[in-house]
Amino acid sequence: MSVDAAHDLVRGALTATLWICLPVLAAGVIVGIIVSLGQILTSIQDPAVGAVPRVIAMGLVVALSLPWMSARLIAYTQVLWSDFARYGN
C-alpha cells in the first residue's frame, strides 16, 4: 500500500466518522448552551440539570437519524470494498 492510498483511506474514514457523529454532537452542544443559559438565569447550579437534557437530546437525535447514519456508513463501506484491490498491494 502506498502512502497516498493510506492517506486516502484514513481521510475517508475520518470524514465518514465526522459526518456520522456531527448531528449528535451538534445536538449536545446546542442543548448544552441552552441549558447553561437557563442555569445562569435561574442560578441553578446542579450538574444533573445540565447533563440530563443533553443525554435525552442526543438519544433522540441518534434515534431519529439512525437510518441516515447507517445508510451513510453502508455507502462508505461499499466504496471501501469496491476499491479493495487498491489497498491490497
Alpha carbons 46 and 21: distance in angstroms, whole number: 28
Q: Global pTM?
A: 0.77
What is the SS3 string spanning the chain? CCHHHHHHHHHHHHHHHHHHHHHHHHHHHHHHHHHHHHHHHHCCCCHHHHHHHHHHHHHHHHHHHHHHHHHHHHHHHHHHHHCHHHHHC
Tell me the per-residue pLDDT of 26-66, one tens digit each, with 9 for 90 and over: 999 999 999 999 988 988 888 888 889 999 999 999 999 99
Domains in the chain: boundaries: 3-88
